[in-house]
Amino acid sequence: MRVGVVGNPRYRDLKAVLERVALQAPERGITLHSEPRLQPFWGREVPPFEGVELDALLTFGGDGTLLRGARLLAGRETPILGVNFGRVGFLTTATRETLDAALDALGAGRYVTERRQMLMAVIKDGQGVERSSQVAVNDVAVHKGGVARVVRVNVFINGENVGPYSADGIIVATPTGSTAYNLSAGGPIVVPGVEAMVVTPIAAHTLAVRPLVVPATFRIVIEPMAGWADDLLVSFDGQTGSSLAPGESVDVRRADHRVCLIRLGGDGFFSRMRQKLHWGDLSEREAVR
């Protein structure tokens, strides 16, 4: 079994964990392949995974590391097992404490996968010619660079002009991303498996604009209004980005491929929501007498 490894070097325990994984992998029938920047952490030579047909991908870090790993797969629907080193880790399924059991399950194939919707965003010039494109697992956001300032854009959904948005930015999120930036901006949680996209303004400057949930088959086009296109950025999963020049637009649709997340045991979506987001937690409230 060929397993790629992606990790966040900022976590101080990463070296010890990787050395432990390197010792345990062979007895589980796992051959490891590393991203290049992790080579100093292994304590041995581990070949890179570029050009290798992987059976699975291990990510060591938080949700951000898992999102980066998904983009590194470049469209391949390779199952991803996320090991959480951070605080929330909503997308991950294992921890340092459960790592041994997770490796056992991975090597034996005792897991299920969730195929999650992704986004494809295309930046086009004024003539409709594609300048660049990028995929995202969570969201695509249009916002100002530098200090927080209002943006004014027109939003078209399936060719129909929804109207002008005046806000600090606009988020287009997948159901997976609905619990990320979208939730912080006041957008709804959409259960994974629902084929939809969410359009959420960031700090809308009018009460007449609210989040919208639209079918995943729709296309969403965001066009800056004349005179409001300076210093605009397009961010993908909050990790990579591109400038948006005057006259350009962002065309967002459902990607042709999915991201496959490995799940172990009975960690359903709502149990993760209760645990990770403390959903409905009233433990800190005093009883009313």
**The residue type at 240:** T
Contact assessment for residue 198 and residue 211, using Cβ atoms and an 8 Å cutoff: yes
Q: Which residue has the tokens 């790592």?
A: 99
3-state secondary structure 136-199: ECCEEEEEECCCCCCEEEEEEECCEEEEEEEECEEEEECCHHHHCHHHHCCCCCCCCCCCEEEE
H or E stretch at 97: none
- Catalytic site residue from 63, 139, 237, 251: 63
Q: Helices marked H in the chain — which ranges?
A: 14-24, 63-72, 99-108, 181-184, 269-277
Does the active-site annotation cover 251? no
> What number of other Cβ atoms are within 10 A of residue 84's Cβ?
23
What is the C-alpha separation between 135 and 119, in angstroms, rounded? Answer: 5
Burial of 245 (0-12, 13-18, 19+ CB in 10 A): middle
Residue closest to 206 by CA, chosen among 164, 166, 170, 148:
166
User: How does DSSP classify residue 28?
Assistant: G
Residues that are catalytic: 63
